[in-house]
Amino acid sequence: MACPRRPRVTHTTLFPWDNTMTTSPYPAARDAQAQWATLSVAQRCQRLMPVIDILSERMDAFAQLIHEENGKPVFEAVTHEVSASIGFARWLLSNAPRILADTQLSLSVFPHRRATLQRVAYGTVLIISPWNVPLFIPVSGALPALVAGNAVVLKPSEVTPRSSGILAEALAACDLPSGLFQLVQGTGKVGAKLIRDRPDKVIFTGSAATGRKVMAACAKHPIPVTLELGGVDAMIVCEDADLDYASSAAAWGSTFNGGQVCASVERLIIHRSVADKFTALLIDKLERIDIHNDLGKICFDGQRDVYRRHLDDIAARGLNVATGGSFIANDSKLAPTLVAGEGITQAAVWTDETFGPVVAATTFDGDDEAVRLHNSVDSGLTASVFSADKARAKRLASQLRAGLISINDVGATLYGQPELPWGGVGHSGFGRSHGETGLLDCTWSRVVEESRLDIFEPKRPWWYPYGDRQRAVMESFGRALAGGGRINQLAQIAKAGKAAWQMLTRTPRL
Ligand code: NAD
């Protein structure tokens, strides 16, 4: 089935491909959101169900489009984009009514009262997305925001506009108020203008450098922002790990999508006693990757510049390029590259995101050293620990500064598990997408508190006028809350009760 060059768009607004955008998408979005918010969560989920059918029916065409535009192999476009989007949508649309349902809260200090916690849509959510996962990132940002009752304005990367239009096409099959989802194409300047025009929430996925600008722009209003940024994610390989399995994981985890993955394995921390054996296995596997069919292309020129900078830094430091290190296939790809050597932990390939098929390796002796090496960088998105000893692996994991850690798998795999809250710490950003947390992050919480009893409400002892009786009530109350044994608590409650009775009967309300 042929895929159109432009998405068939009915409920979206396509703005021009330049920076002269004068129309704001927000008025239409707000009108649509007002209607959308009157539906129940279950009704919204029902209306969004056709997305699953469209993605499933047109899987091949969509994967081909992503392959052509982004350069990732068709297999990865099917697996990491279209199928992952279907799995995510299926989980979300089945679970959102439960997750967003009102919660009843009992109150410990005043047990005669109770509260209801409600989740309220922000209004209009602006989603700014990158080029490396041009379908699944917009899907996993936009669908939760919509389900939660928001309108969505999506500003995808200017590098992959057609792939990001797939979501618009899928949503066009849904019965949504016009303007509820709008696709606004353009460069970073368009993204900046969309923030200036004041959405109610921003979900940004991209580089740490742009993330800082986005946060500064949001701070002016202020607009709540989720930042999903990059990382230099590490794999720890213990001496008891299955080295053949772990080296296969490292070969894939460091190079799939041409290494252009936020959760790519960029650092290896290998137990010294198995380092030679592990790296020999890994070099062999990196050199056996089918670079024509299985290795993703460099998506755009800006990437090549980063690789050149990092390769120059490696050369200047005299590090050992164990394999790779050069551009191949008419400069459309970088060969899978493994770098090691004295001083590697100061090199750019260790401290800064390469976002390419490059992995830097070092060794450790004790687990404390592995933790220290892992936590020596500013970012922390995902990590992985490979060991036959699960208890040891869990102990290590509990000390790593990263948002998601996998034991005996690479962290990037966790992106495909819809239940898991995705996001990092430090320079990898904050806030979460995916999972219950990601869905709740598309809402703010509202508490409605009330009496359990339909009888009179006595004057509160902390209201005016202040006086000795009020103070006696509050002192006894505070001591009762402090505990100190059941008998003491009962005595304090009795004292507070007596003082409260006197206050109620002898002190008039203000
Ligand atoms: P980028 O920061 O260059 O651009 C991201 C988006 O921001 C694009 O849509 C761009 O047009 C827009 N933009 C640029 N300047 C802007 C501004 N001033 N105001 C508003 N929007 C602006 O990132 P990229 O090169 O597209 O993507 C690669 C980066 O994304 C890598 O660092 C990668 O690690 C990160 N990433 C993170 C995750 C995650 O989940 N944590 C996932 C994928 C990619």
Question: Over the stretch 25-51, which tens digit does the pLDDT of each residue have?
Answer: 999 999 999 999 999 999 999 999 999
Q: Is the pLDDT of residue 18 over 60?
A: no
Please work out whether the CB of residue 353 comes within 6 Å of at least one atom of ligand 1: yes
- Opening angle at CA 295, ends 289 and 297, nearest 5: 155
Question: Over the stretch 288-322, which tens digit does the pLDDT of each residue have?
Answer: 999 999 999 999 888 999 999 999 999 999 999 99
**Which sign, positive or negative, has the C-alpha torsion 132, 138, 139, 141?**
positive
Please work out whether the CB of residue 214 comes within 6 Å of at least one atom of ligand 1: yes
Confidence label for 423 from pLDDT (cuts 50, 70 and 90): very high
Provide mean pLDDT across the span 108-135.
Answer: 95
Question: Over the stretch 175-209, which tens digit does the pLDDT of each residue have?
Answer: 999 999 999 999 999 999 999 999 999 999 999 99
Query: What does the pLDDT read at residue 155?
Result: 96
Mean pLDDT of the chain: 92
Query: What does the pLDDT read at residue 3?
Result: 33
Strand partners, 116: 104, 448
C-alpha of residue 208 to centroid of ligand 1, in Å? 8
More confident residue, 158 or 5: 158
C-alpha of residue 152 to centroid of ligand 1, in Å? 18
Query: What does the pLDDT read at residue 500?
Result: 75
> Taking a C-beta distance cutoff of 8 angstroms, is the pair 336, 314 a contact?
no
Read out DSSP for 368-407? Answer: HHHHHHHTTSSEESEEEEE-S-HHHHHHHHTT---SEEEE
Query: What does the pLDDT read at residue 20?
Result: 46
> Taking a C-beta distance cutoff of 8 angstroms, is the pair 268, 364 a contact?
no
Does the active-site annotation cover 299? no
Task: Give 166's contacts (C-beta < 8 A, 6+ positions apart).
Answer: 7, 55, 62, 65, 66, 135
Query: What does the pLDDT read at residue 502?
Result: 74
Confidence label for 10 from pLDDT (cuts 50, 70 and 90): very low
Q: Is the pLDDT of residue 143 over 70?
A: yes
Question: Over the stretch 457-499, which tens digit does the pLDDT of each residue have?
Answer: 777 778 888 888 788 888 888 888 887 788 887 888 888 787 7
Nearest CA to ligand 1 atom 42: 262
Q: Is the pLDDT of residue 138 over 50?
A: yes
> Taking a C-beta distance cutoff of 8 angstroms, is the pair 86, 56 a contact?
yes
